Every structure is written in structure tokens, then in C-alpha cells.
Structure 1
Amino acid sequence: MLLGSIFMVAPAAHADTALLNVSYDVTRELFKEINPAFIAEWKKTTGETITVNQSHGGSSKQARSVVDGLEASVVTMNQANDIDFLADQGVVAADWAKRFPNNAAPFYSTMVYLVRKGNPKKIAGWDDLIKPGLKVIIPNPKTSGNGRYSYLAAWGSVIKKGGTEAQARDFVSKLFKNVPVLDGGGRGATTTFTQREIGDVLVTFENEVQLVRNEFGDNFEVVYPSSSILAESPVAVVDKVVDKKNIRKQATAYLQFLYSEAGQDIIAKHFLRPRSAIAAKKHAASFKPITLFTVDEVFGGWKNAQKKHFDDGGEFDKIFQSHR
């Protein structure tokens, strides 16, 4: 049942406990499969009937909604920066990244390209995205983790080749000159590209391009640049809410389920790169090898990247203003 951006997976009337997972834009399909699997597992092991409700939107916008009062039991975001923001506001624990394995990121992805059938513009790598007249679809880096990763991947592609900060700035400026519309989140950008048929290339998460291929078949092709950014998807329990509602045990178990072999298998089926070696081996055909660089390596961590590039008056604002 749809309730704005929140959908419910089990009838609340029969549940003892309800959780709300506030997540980012392109994980709808993933959690539609994760949630019933966790609900069944929890019922089997504890006898308790549980409901998991879901909310989706641009990652940073979702984080702000939680600060503004959206009562998330857990958050599953696409960048550490959004959970750090919640920690700074006292909504989640300051040491949230140490509470689950792999810096509390049970899976990861990267940024790749979706192009129209036959790749008519012959797009192969980052340099092709600044060709004059090309239309590139990327969501707004101010509201979307998807957009932020795309921006940082483009900037980092210059630095990793030995380029200077000035050259990276010039490159990203040219790239955003080619962006005709800034959607609020990744799913909106996908709709713009696939259904509104705007743009020559969509830059988005690997899992999103594969879902589009599944849905629209041969109308689109996936292009992998030679290198891209490591996009980890961190998770956290929202302490303030779970303690008030006395659901810490259930919320923690829900996030732990993402690390279980059952959870990791579902994650890999949805084209998100799993942490489990077993799931990674089983689904190896879904994941093309690609050289990945990290936000820490190129930008000195998310806090530095946020401050320099995405805070008001930062690099992105300067670039965007210069195009108006």
C-alpha cells in the first residue's frame, strides 16, 4: 500500500512491532525482497510478527527528513556523509560506523553509464561526457547521494590520471554544462532518461542501470568507464527512535540480516556488490571488474568532500552559478 513515499510490506493490524526503514531512492526493489525475507526469519526465530515500512527519496533529503521528525527505526543510505549528519544532530550514535561490519556498509556499488541502444554517441569513458552538445543526466548533488557520487567520480577521474585540482574543476564544470535538468534523486533521473527520453547518457549506480536493462530490455546498454568511485551504502539504527519505542533488538536484527548469507544473496541478485565471498562468487557474472577509488583516497573523507564541494558556497554552487 502506498502512503506518499512510504510503502508497507505487511499488514500493520496483525503486527506486534513495526519498523520504518528510511532509505535512498534506488533501493525500492531491493527492500521489497529483503523485508519479507527478514519478516519470515524473525517470525521463525522469535515467534513475533513484525512489519517493515519503507520510505524512499534522495539520500540527503531523506536524512534531513529524519532530523525534521520522520521516525525512522533504521536508516540505509548511500553515503556515510548522510549518517554523519544524523550523528551530528544527535539522532544516531557518533560511533555508528563501528556498530556493524565493513564500516557499517553491508554492500557497495559504483557509478557507470546507461546509454541508448547502439551507443550512438560512442561514449566510453569520463572524457566523453564533456563533448559539446552531449546531454548528460545526473541528479542534483545537493539533494542526492547519487548525484554527489557522480560528481566526485568525475572529479576523481581527473585526479587519478595525475590531473590538478584546477583541471578537475574545469572538467566537472564542462560536465555540468551538459546536464540539462537536475532531478532531486536517482530514480527521478532514471525516469527523465528512460521515460521522458531526455539525454544521451545517464550516470547512475551500477544496480540502477542493471534494473533498467531488465525492465526495458534492449533499448539501452551499460557502459563501464575504466575507473570509477567506490560507493558504499552505510546503515545505522536510529537510537532516539528505537529506545523510545523499545524496538532496538528488532531494528538491530534487521540490519544484521543484511549481512547474513540470505541477505547478501538477495543484495547480489539486485546488482549491488555484496560483502560475502560466497554471494560474490555465486553472482560473479553480474559484476564486471572495475578499478575503484575511494572518497577517502581522493577527497580526504566525506566530511572534507561535503565541506569543499557541496556545502552552500562550495565548488558545486560556484560551478552551477557560473552556468546561469
Structure 2
Amino acid sequence: MQPITKKMTETRRLSISGVLAMSVLAIGCSSNDASQQDGSTTAHEQQNISLLNVSYDVSRDFYKDYNALFSQDYQQKNPGSKVDIKQSHGGSSKQAMSVANGLQADVVTFNQESDMNLLVEKGLVATDWQQALPNNAVPYTSTMVLLVRDGNPKNIKDWTDLARSDVDVVIPNPKTSGTARYAFLGAYGYGLHHFKENPQNHTKTDDFIKKVLANVVTYDNGARAATTSFTQRSLGDVLITTENEAHLAAKQFAKGQVDIVYPSYSILINNPVAVVATTTDKDGKTAAANTYLQGLWDEPAQTLMANMYLRPSDKKILAAHKDTLPAINTFDPVTVFDSWEQIMATFFVDGGRFDQLARVE
């Protein structure tokens, strides 16, 4: 079921608009990694390794820089070797489904645990993936913020302002985008907190969320497409997006045209990573894939995260960037709403609470 936007309500004719967030492949010179029958590779193949990182939409800028950092370090430590990293980006859940349906990812770097769980269920990712890397395999976190027009002409200060009838809202589609789910859950969690309700008693929160969703003018397929709608197509008064994407928009996509508003209470976003062993084992690339992900916890990578407005798991590096990554009051969705399996079943299945609240009577 597709959610109904404010624009549809006003015109009764328009369907939900969306700019498709195309999965982007960063070009690398890949080699055909043919494995020998015993699973080992030839010397030439060991020297030329190609890895595919299938990731969520707004991570592309970080991984583009990290890939260059990793490749240089890998070649210094392995003279004569070369590793090329390809990238594929799109809505997190769409990316997970692509891997489940056969996309040969070597590593996956998502923004939602449920997307990783899908690959575990399919037997593509190990059941103990969270124990394979530090910090439950979450190298960095983020949160949701509000991106508004320069000077904040609508005086948007917190989630409550998104329910006003004079405010148009832009978010991706929670059916395809992990970022959009965090946007919805961020607003919903704020509602429970603000109205002093809980997941079992949520009448006022539901009414609040109905008003917010009634103001949505477009549900794009991915977070970057939503950024494009807001910054280049000039749709909406406010974009609900991740902290790093908001800063990127403010400094690159729409410099001097937007401001960032930090809500008083927002959601914690964990960004899990894992090796897709079913791919790497058969191609003899598991060691390289593990090294690639382990490098995310090295100081240069953690510093790069902070410089790109992602919150590194290294607390010292995070503290050193307190001016650009201020302390925020957040809640963990698993603590408030239960497991991601329960979250998906309650809110995002067809006919779930999101569909119910997004429907215009």
C-alpha cells in the first residue's frame, strides 16, 4: 500500500511522486576472481581483488573516501597487491532485498538491523555477525534532524511543528528506505515522550503522527532522492533526514540555502556491517572482506566518519568533534518499541500502523 501525501489530498489526482534513488556503482577496475576447485586462488588473483560493498543510500560519500583510504593502506601492507572496491547504494531495505535475490555483495553496510536479519534468514550472513566485529558490528551511529530553508522562515524548532497545517514535509518512503523508517519512528518516539504515552497507549501520538503524515508532499524511494526533492526541486518546508546527510546538503548540495534544526528528542541510528560469506568464501575473498570491515574501527576511518558528520564508535574521537557533533538526547528504537522484528511487524508491514496513519480518510 502506498501512503497518501498532502499533495494528493489537495489535488485528488496526483500519485505519490518520487525520484528513484538509483543504486550507484562506483567504477573500479575489477578482476575476474575465479577460484580453484579447492577454494584457493592463484597468485595473480590474490594480487588483484575486487570487493562489492552494498550499502544504504546516504553512505555513498563516506564510503567513497574510505575506499580510497583502505585501498592505499591495503596496498602498502600487501606490496604488489591491488584491491578495488565497488559501491552500490540505494534504500537500505531495497539493497538488502537485492542481495537476498542474488546481488553478489561481498560486504553489506546497512542502516537498520532488520535488513541484516533478512540476510541471516537467507543464510547469506552468519548468525553471529554481531560478534565478528567490535561494538556489535556498528562502527558509527547517527540520528535524525530537520533540514529547513535558509533563515527557517516557518520557524520550525521541533517535531511538533511538523504537524502544523502550514508546513510541508519531505521524507523517503518507509516501505523502501531505512532512513524513512527512522524518520517515522523518530517522530513517533518523540510523540510518546512528549505526550507521556507508551507503545500500548498511544492515542495522542497517533493523532500527532496523522497530522505530520498528512503534510508529506512526497515519499521518495531513498534518502538521497528525498534530499534532491528538497534542495533541487524545492519541494517542502522541511526535510527529515540523517545528521550527516543534512550537513552534506548544507555544505554542498544547497550551500547557503538551508539550515539544520536539532530536535529536542530524536532517535539513535545504528549502522551495522557484515561480510557476505556465501560470496566471499567461494571467491576466496573472505580475508580481504574482513580486513575491509575491520578497518572501519581504525583511527583514520573513525576520524573520517566524524569529519563527515557520522558519530564514530570511538568516544575520544567523537568528543574531539563535539563542536560539529553536539551532544543530543536520543532514544534507542529497540528499547522503546521492542526488537526490529516487532517494529517491522507493528509499523511497516502492509496494513501496519504506518499505512493506517498515512491513510487520508
TM-score for the superposition, normalised by structure 2: 0.86
Partners of 1:229 and 1:118 in 2: how far apart?
25
Between the aligned partners of 2:315 and 2:328, the Cα distance in structure 1 is 17
Q: Would you say 1:27 and 2:59 are equivalent positions?
A: yes
Q: Deviations over 1:88-143 (max 9, x none)?
A: 11111122122111121100000000000110111001110000131100100010
Q: The residue matched to 1:285 in structure 2 has which SS?
A: coil
- Correspondence 1:89-100 to 2 at 5 A: 89-100=122-133
Match of 1:221, SS?
strand
Q: For the residues of structure 1 that align with 2:326 and 2:92, how far apart are their CA atoms?
A: 26
Match of 2:238 in 1: 201
Q: Which residue of 2 aligns with 1:308?
A: 346
| 1:231-272 deviation digits (Å, cap 9, x = unpaired) | 011101111111111111000110101111011011111100
Q: Which stretch of the first structure deviates more once superposed, 118-127 or 276-285?
A: 276-285
Q: State the partner residue of 2:41.
A: none
CA deviation profile, 1:122-177 (whole Å, cap 9, x unmatched): 10011100001311001000100110000000110011231232222222221111
User: CA separation in 2, counterparts of 1:147 and 1:7?
Assistant: 24
Task: Quote the Cα distance in structure 1 between the aligned partners of 2:24 and 2:64.
Answer: 14
Summarize the Cα distance change of 1:4–1:277 in structure 2 as closer, same or farther, 3 Å threshold.
closer
Query: Which residue is equivalent to 2:323?
Result: 285
Residue 101 (structure 1) aligned with residue 131 (structure 2):
no
State the AA in 1 paired with 2:346.
Answer: K
- Supply the RMSD in Å over aligned alpha carbons: 1.5
CA deviations over 1:192-215 (Å, ceiling 9, x no partner): 000000000000000000001111
Instruction: Name the CA distance, whole Å, in 1 between partners of 2:351 and 2:127.
Output: 27
Work out whether 1:155 is the aligned partner of 2:188: yes
- Larger proportion of helix: 1
Cα distance change of structure 1 residues 137 and 82 upon mapping to structure 2, 3 Å threshold: same
Q: Secondary structure at the match of 2:255?
A: helix
Give matches, 1:212-227, under 5 Å: 212-215=249-252, 216-227=254-265
**8 Å contact kept, 1:25–1:186:** yes
Aligned with 2:150 (options 117, 122, 135): 117
Equivalent position of 1:178 in the other structure: 215
Q: Which amino acid aligns with 2:78?
A: T
> Are the counterparts in 1 of residues 23 and 90 from structure 2 also a CA contact under 8 Å?
no
Q: Is the 8 A contact 1:159 1:298 kept in 2?
A: no
Please identify, of 35-44 and 155-164, the stretch whose mean Cα deviation from structure 2 is larger.
155-164
Corresponding residue of 1:248: 286
Corresponding residue number in structure 2 for 1:296: 334
Match of 1:38 among 66, 70, 87: 70
Contact 1:264 1:275 in 2 (8 A): yes
Summarize the alignment of residues 235-274 of structure 1 with structure 2, pairs less than 5 Å apart.
235-274=273-312
Which ranges in structure 2 are unaligned for 5 or more consecutive residues? 1-21, 32-43
Which runs of 4 or more aligned residues in structure 1 lie more than 4 Å from their structure 2 counterparts after TM superposition?
Answer: none
SS at match of 1:217: coil
Q: 1:141 aligns with which of 171, 174, 192?
A: 174
The offset of 1:281, in angstroms, is 2.8
The correspondence for 2:29, drawn from 6, 11, 15, is 11
- Name the TM-score, length of structure 1 as normaliser: 0.95
SS state at 1:263 partner:
helix
Q: Which amino acid counterpart does residue 254 of structure 1 have in structure 2? A: Y
Distance in 1 separating the partners of 2:130 and 2:143: 20
Contact 1:111 1:150 in 2 (8 A): yes
Corresponding letter in the other structure for 1:200: D
Q: How many angstroms apart in 1 are the aligned matches of 2:137 and 2:113?
A: 9
- When Rg is computed on C-alpha atoms for both structures, the one with the higher figure is 2
* In 1, Cα distance between equivalents of 2:119 and 2:211: 33
Given that 1:79 and 1:233 are in contact with CA atoms closer than 8 Å, whether structure 2 keeps it comes out as yes
SS at match of 2:216: coil
Give unmatched runs, 5+ long, in structure 1: none
Q: How far apart are 1:4 and its partner, in Å?
A: 6.2
Cα distance between partner residues in 1 of 2:48 and 2:148: 46
Alpha-carbon deviation of 1:83? 0.3
SS in 1 for 2:61: helix
Q: Percent identity?
A: 42
The whole-number CA distance in structure 2 between the counterparts of 1:19 and 1:193 is 33
Q: Give the superposition deviation at 1:217.
A: 2.1
